[in-house]
Amino acid sequence: MKTQNPPSKSVAIKTIVIFGATGDLAARMLLPSLYFLDLDGLLPPDLRIMGSARAPMDQASYVNSVHEHLAARPEGLDKVVWKRFSARLDYCRADVTQAHGLKDLAAHIGDDGAMFYLALSPSVYAAACEQLEAAGLTGGQSRIVLEKPLGHDLKSSRDINAKVAHAFEESSVFRVDHYLGKETVQNLIALRFANTLFEPLWNNLAIDHVQITVAETDGVGDRWGYYDEYGALRDMVQNHMLQLLCLVAMEPPADSGADSVRDEKVKVLKSLRAFTAADAQALSVRGQYRGGVVEGKSVPSYSEEKGGESLTETFVALRADIDNWRWAGVPFFLRTGKRLPERRTQIAIQFKALPHSIFGSAAKDDLIANRLVIDLQPNEDISLLLMNRRPGLADVRLKAMPLSLSLDDGGRRRIAYERLFLDVLAGNPALFVRRDEVELAWAWIDGVAEAWRNLSMTPKAYAAGSWGPPGAFALMERSGREWLDD
């Protein structure tokens, strides 16, 4: 590993270079995030943003293309801010995996601190780091930002991490999981560790199980080239879902520092019970969407979108068990899929049922066990389901009363990448994934994939617009539970 000085918080980043500047991520997320930060006066005045890609383009055409994307957004474009923002933009044609284009880039950047954002396929990360190093761009002033998924399995992620570590100090490496930049995910940390109320209940004495759902209505569409190689397990579970699981399950960290939090997440990943071929059938479900109707529109099957048969899953449901004192006997059910009936990202903490009800038989069916529901999308909300008494003179009847703990101030909802950009600029890695975290997550995912392979578990069909194959319901029923709110 390189032994250069880690960047200090005082290193000012003067240039952000986005490799893959003409791609979808840059257009939909990265440039709008930077624009909104500029709108709020949060970007350093002298910060330049350099788009870089293989396509030949001059600065004016690049600025025009960014304008087109931003102007098409519902928020609209502020003329004054656009003037300031567009003056930051430049374009440099380069293939980051080849030496020649990087010379021009190095000349543009000079000796100042730069952030290199690889909005590219992970298959080129290793070559990109080699070339950045060869071009002298990886000094202590530079930071590298890598998108997920980092590799395809443990081995490939180790190979990439080793190449990255050869070029950059770990403290200069920012592995993005954009879920960590979402406001509600940060609220979850505040909820758990800024209140004394929940901590005594946050364990297997009070909690029955946890459900984490990431449901999308979109299909794979024109991303299938990438997606078909990864599938839902590697695209969503390995990263976003395991990160959410870790934040729910981790022990209170000593402080909110990056390594304190990441050390706790690592302990959770180490405690995940390994999947074996013996129980994979009972504990997991793979699905792939067929044609159907989603939000009132007929949509084609995955293989029609792709133009061929495929054994890639677009849906996963599984039960994860965490073998430690706090969570012994508390299953974590994870479910994610494309072309589900609604867009919903939600963590539900289901508390245990009352040990004994003192209310009469009329109220028996009213009783619902307490539940804390953290909605990340489409609404950002935290609500605690409590039981209350229905007013009236008749027999005692109870009713569920969801208590909203939402902090929605009615302001614009930030793109998760806004927070992440600011943190890279500040050199704060707390909301980024450390190397050991990524590798432990892959080790567990490899176990699931291997069990599926050994059992020849091919994806089961589900109609687009449904909540996945019937096996997803059976998975819950086997444990005497059910998915919430289907």
Q: How far is the CB of 377 from ligand BG6 (least distance, A)?
A: 6
Q: How far is the CB of 444 from ligand BG6 (least distance, A)?
A: 18
Inter-CA distances, 446 with 223, 232, 315, 442, 474, Å: 23, 13, 17, 6, 24
Alpha carbon of residue 239 to chain centroid: 6
Of these, 15, 345, 370, 466, which contacts ligand BG6 (CB under 6 A)?
345
Q: How far is the CB of 48 from ligand BG6 (least distance, A)?
A: 27
Query: Which residue, among 142, 87, 143, has the nearest Cα to 112 in the 3D structure?
Result: 142
Of these, 38, 169, 208, 216, which contacts ligand BG6 (CB under 6 A)?
216
* Number of residues that this document lists for the chain: 486
- Under DSSP, is residue 179 helix (H, G, I), strand (E, B) or coil? helix
227-246 binders of ligand BG6 (CB under 6 A): 235
Give whichever of 86 and 345 is closer to ligand BG6, judged by the CB atom: 345
- CB neighbourhood size of 273 (10 A): 14
158-197 binders of ligand BG6 (CB under 6 A): none
Q: How far apart are CA 447 and CA 445, in angstroms?
A: 5
The tokens describing 391, both together, are: 């007013």
Q: How far is the CB of 177 from ligand BG6 (least distance, A)?
A: 8
Query: Which residue, among 115, 116, 19, 35, has the nearest Cα to 68 in the 3D structure?
Result: 35
Give whichever of 20 and 331 is closer to ligand BG6, judged by the CB atom: 20
Give whichever of 94 and 420 is closer to ligand BG6, judged by the CB atom: 420
Q: How far apart are CA 7 and CA 172, in angstroms?
A: 6
- Per the CB < 8 A criterion, the answer to whether 332 and 213 are in contact is no
64-123 binders of ligand BG6 (CB under 6 A): none
The one-character DSSP state at 370 is -
Site string for ligand BG6, 119-148 (x = CB under 6 A): ------------------------------
Q: Which residues are catalytic, by number?
A: 240
What's the angle, vertex CA 315, arms to CA 300 and CA 33, rounded to 5? 85
Q: How far is the CB of 331 from ligand BG6 (least distance, A)?
A: 23
Give whichever of 221 and 360 is closer to ligand BG6, judged by the CB atom: 221
Give whichever of 275 and 417 is closer to ligand BG6, judged by the CB atom: 417
Q: Which residues pair with 335 in a beta bridge?
A: 213, 317
Inter-CA distances, 6 with 260, 280, 477, 479, Å: 18, 43, 51, 48
Give whichever of 178 and 319 is closer to ligand BG6, judged by the CB atom: 178
Tell me how far apart the 2 most distant CA atoms of the chain are, in Å. 83
370-389 binders of ligand BG6 (CB under 6 A): 377
Count of positions on this chain that bind ligand BG6 (CB under 6 A)? 4
25-64 binders of ligand BG6 (CB under 6 A): none
- Comparing every residue's Cβ against ligand BG6, the nearest one is 235
- Asked if 336 is part of the footprint of ligand BG6 (rule: CB under 6 A), the reply reads no
Q: How far apart are CA 272 and CA 53, in angstroms?
A: 40
Query: Which residue, among 377, 433, 437, has the nearest Cα to 147 in the 3D structure?
Result: 433
Give whichever of 7 and 459 is closer to ligand BG6, judged by the CB atom: 459
Give whichever of 121 and 171 is closer to ligand BG6, judged by the CB atom: 121
Q: How far is the CB of 345 from ligand BG6 (least distance, A)?
A: 6
Q: How far is the CB of 214 from ligand BG6 (least distance, A)?
A: 6
Strands (E), 390-472: 398-404, 460-464
Q: How far is the CB of 82 from ligand BG6 (least distance, A)?
A: 25
The tokens describing 378, both together, are: 């489409």
Give whichever of 219 and 471 is closer to ligand BG6, judged by the CB atom: 219
- Per the CB < 8 A criterion, the answer to whether 150 and 117 are in contact is no
- Please count the CA atoms within 13 angstroms of the CA of 444 that sit on its side-chain side: 25
Q: How far is the CB of 81 from ligand BG6 (least distance, A)?
A: 24
The tokens describing 168, both together, are: 């950059």
- Per the CB < 8 A criterion, the answer to whether 220 and 306 are in contact is yes
Residues that bind ligand BG6 (CB under 6 A): 216, 235, 345, 377
